[in-house]
A and B are shown apart, each in its own frame.
Chain A
Amino acid sequence: MIYIIDHNDSFTHNVVHQFSYFSKVECDNFDKIDPKKINKAKTIVFSPGPGAPKDYPLSSKIYKKYKGKKKIIGICLGFQQILYSEKAEIVEQNKIYHGFQSEVKVTSDNSIFTKNQKFKVGRYHSLKLKEPFNKNNFEITMRCAISNVAMAIENNKDKIYGFQFHPESFLTENGNLLIKKILSA
């Protein structure tokens, strides 16, 4: 079972439907976490949402509790939530992407995706990861093809994955394949 933690977002149920192609999914808002469900889950997903990771200390707590014990996936705010919990800085960016389709590129040899592959994705983020970001076992594996902003992270040791873009958006090509791949990783 996959447990999706919602952050009062308006895209979360697209995420729920996307993961439902591959497994049973449960979803609760971040302030109404069900301890039984979360314990039962094999994978925890942090949903997109408004604001910044610092607004959701409960989600950071959950991340720290289950890191290394369950697969963890973060999307948009969820991606930032993982990084923030790993002491990264999340900052405002000059050029803001809301509802924007742009190209990302796989930039790492160690990624579960093929290096140099490019594809179109839907983006909804005001904030971004401040770089440099160095943390054991974490690697930035995709970047915006134009601005170079970090678009995906992988930690294949602890099975932690995150996308700054939205795999569930209708603007993302092959979003289901991306999810399938990280679920079977």
Chain B
Amino acid sequence: MTTQDYLKSISKSKKPFVIYKSNKGFDLYTNFSKKIVLTNRNIHSFINRISKNKSKSKNTDLYIGFFGYEILNNLIGIKLPNQKGLKFPKGIFYKPEKKVSLESKLNYKNEDLNHLSRDFKININKKLYNKIFNRFMKKIKSGKTYQIKICTKYLNKSKIDPIDFFCRLSKTNLAPESFLIKDKEFSIISCSPENLITKKGNYISTKPIAGTLKKTKKLNKIKALNFFNNNIKENKEHNMIVDMERSDLSKICKPGSVKIIKKKIVEEYKDLYHYVSLIAGKLKKNISTLDIVKSMMPGGSVIGCPKISTLNLLNAQENENRNIYTGSFGYIKFNGDMRFNIIIRAILNYKNYSEISVASGVVIDSKANHEFNENYIKAKALIDLYK
């Protein structure tokens, strides 16, 4: 069956499924024999149980799904105040019984044309953004945080066809960590560029992004690299993320094994360039899957630095639940290997409400106006889908 026919048939069957970007194309997981909705009660035993499950190795010997932002906070002992929002599950994992490889060009025609509303509401206007910005700037001056990300949310009400969205998105924006979850009540469509954890055996790496540049006709990759390298603010912002991720890895890695493999390179996307580094290490003996999750999540590059103090500042400020945003999607194999991204550039569609969250970093020399606009650039590729 061609990819197009396959997508058509799975759409018709109404079966839940997950698609995750692979090296060559995409992997589709379906025929779920288990679905685990995470709570603070079951998360420890769920994570600990997976990698003890040593049966014969099949390519479906894994759990795939996501951890939301709130449960990752709770896991490292940080409580969130009561927040409003969609009341979406804190995390869900599936046990697939079938895996299908799809080519990288996803073609799919949505016949029942969407009734899409292009009307988006933003939860924080410029004025409020400025106020929060100034409040956080004071915290930077007093040393409570060195970098903090203000999150804004775009909201829309319309019925969407998630497969159609994902296929269109992957045509314009083939991001290395993109994924789609389609379940009965909800879907998540993401073109995340950011890998948080790649673990194989005792090797572990993380690939933080810090630094965004809007594309123009005059720019190319080399010019973008020059821009980043010569821009003190972008450099400082990136440096602290590199040191923080080194430290997060050092918590679980053998002393002396943590190395910066790629230092400050540029990656190109549809509307923007990103400044990226790759850091890797060798895990200490007796490190559990739970240890890894707790030391790496929530991913620091989308939170700010230092992590705990910055999370507390964010949580005291935000009165809407982030849900999936800045959580992590990925899989844990029965042999303990894992791959997780950071959930950014994502649409959460739940009961026909869509939300798109974005954030940009505030450091000592940030300008409120610039950061507010950067948030829009990040959301644009997703908002454009509602056409």
Contacting chain A: which of B50-58, B304-312, B375-383? B304-312
Check: A16 CB closer than 8 A to any chain B CB. yes
Q: Chain A contacts of B308 at CB under 8 A?
A: 8, 10
CA distance A51 to B145 in the complex (A): 8
Check: B315 CB closer than 8 A to any chain A CB. no
Check: B214 CB closer than 8 A to any chain A CB. no
Q: Chain B contacts of A77 at CB under 8 A?
A: 143
Q: Chain A contacts of B250 at CB under 8 A?
A: 13-14, 16-17
On whether the beta carbons of A13 and B248 are closer than 8 Å, the reply is yes
CA distance A13 to B243 in the complex (A): 10
Known: A21-B256, A50-B145, A51-B143. A96 touches B306 (CB 8 A): no
CB distance from B177 to the nearest CB of A (A): 23
On whether the beta carbons of A11 and B238 are closer than 8 Å, the reply is no
Interface centre among B142, B258, B310, B363, by most chain A C-beta atoms within 10 angstroms, is B142
8 Å CB contacts to A: which residues of B175-232?
A: 232
Known: A13-B248, A98-B240, A170-B243. A92 touches B255 (CB 8 A): no
Interface footprint category on A: 20 to 34
A162-174 interface bits toward B, Cβ cutoff 8 Å, 1 = contact, 0 = none:
0000101111000
Interface centre among B140, B146, B242, B363, by most chain A C-beta atoms within 10 angstroms, is B146
Residue of A nearest to B235 (CB): A99
On whether the beta carbons of B237 and A99 are closer than 8 Å, the reply is yes
CA distance A36 to B105 in the complex (A): 61
CA distance A40 to B143 in the complex (A): 32
Check: B90 CB closer than 8 A to any chain A CB. no
On whether the beta carbons of B143 and A20 are closer than 8 Å, the reply is no
CB distance from B70 to the nearest CB of A (A): 20
On whether the beta carbons of B243 and A20 are closer than 8 Å, the reply is no
CA distance A14 to B307 in the complex (A): 15
Q: Chain B contacts of A21 at CB under 8 A?
A: 255-256
Interface centre among A49, A77, A98, by most chain B C-beta atoms within 10 angstroms, is A98
On whether the beta carbons of A52 and B143 are closer than 8 Å, the reply is yes
CB distance from A78 to the nearest CB of B (A): 13
CB distance from B208 to the nearest CB of A (A): 12
Check: B157 CB closer than 8 A to any chain A CB. no
CB distance from B196 to the nearest CB of A (A): 15
On whether the beta carbons of B247 and A98 are closer than 8 Å, the reply is no
A1-16 interface bits toward B, Cβ cutoff 8 Å, 1 = contact, 0 = none:
0000000111111101
Residue of B nearest to A101 (CB): B239
On whether the beta carbons of B146 and A52 are closer than 8 Å, the reply is no
Check: A105 CB closer than 8 A to any chain B CB. no
CA distance A171 to B264 in the complex (A): 13
Residue of A nearest to B237 (CB): A99
On whether the beta carbons of B306 and A169 are closer than 8 Å, the reply is no
Residue of B nearest to A169 (CB): B243
CA distance A12 to B144 in the complex (A): 16
Q: Chain B contacts of A50 at CB under 8 A?
A: 143-146, 306, 309-310
Interface footprint category on B: 35 or more
Residue of B nearest to A90 (CB): B143
On whether the beta carbons of B235 and A10 are closer than 8 Å, the reply is no
On whether the beta carbons of A122 and B143 are closer than 8 Å, the reply is no
CB distance from B92 to the nearest CB of A (A): 29
Q: Chain B contacts of A52 at CB under 8 A?
A: 142-143
CA distance A169 to B247 in the complex (A): 10
Q: Chain A contacts of B309 at CB under 8 A?
A: 8, 49-51
Residue of A nearest to B310 (CB): A50
Check: B98 CB closer than 8 A to any chain A CB. no
CA distance A92 to B364 in the complex (A): 13
> CB < 8 Å: which of B247, B260, B364 contacts A12?
B247
Check: B236 CB closer than 8 A to any chain A CB. yes
CA distance A125 to B258 in the complex (A): 24
Q: Chain A contacts of B240 at CB under 8 A?
A: 98-99, 124
Residue of A nearest to B263 (CB): A170
Check: B300 CB closer than 8 A to any chain A CB. yes
Residue of B nearest to A20 (CB): B255
CB distance from A17 to the nearest CB of B (A): 5
Check: B244 CB closer than 8 A to any chain A CB. yes
Q: Chain B contacts of A96 at CB under 8 A?
A: 140-141, 364
CB distance from A59 to the nearest CB of B (A): 15
Q: Chain B contacts of A10 at CB under 8 A?
A: 243-244, 247-248, 300, 305-308
CA distance A21 to B248 in the complex (A): 18
Residues of B participating in the A interface, judged by any CB pair closer than 8 Å: 140-147, 232, 235-240, 242-244, 246-251, 255-256, 258, 260, 300, 305-310, 363-364
Residues of A participating in the B interface, judged by any CB pair closer than 8 Å: 8-14, 16-17, 20-21, 25, 49-52, 77, 92, 96, 98-101, 122, 124-127, 166, 168-171
Ranked nearest first, the 3 interchain pairs of A and B with the lowest CB-CB distance are A13-B250, A126-B143, A20-B255
Give 28 A-B contacts (CB < 8 Å), ordered by A residue: A8-B306, A10-B308, A11-B247, A12-B247, A13-B246, A14-B246, A14-B247, A16-B255, A17-B250, A17-B256, A17-B258, A49-B306, A50-B145, A50-B146, A96-B140, A98-B146, A98-B236, A98-B240, A99-B147, A99-B238, A99-B243, A100-B236, A100-B239, A122-B239, A122-B243, A166-B243, A170-B239, A170-B243
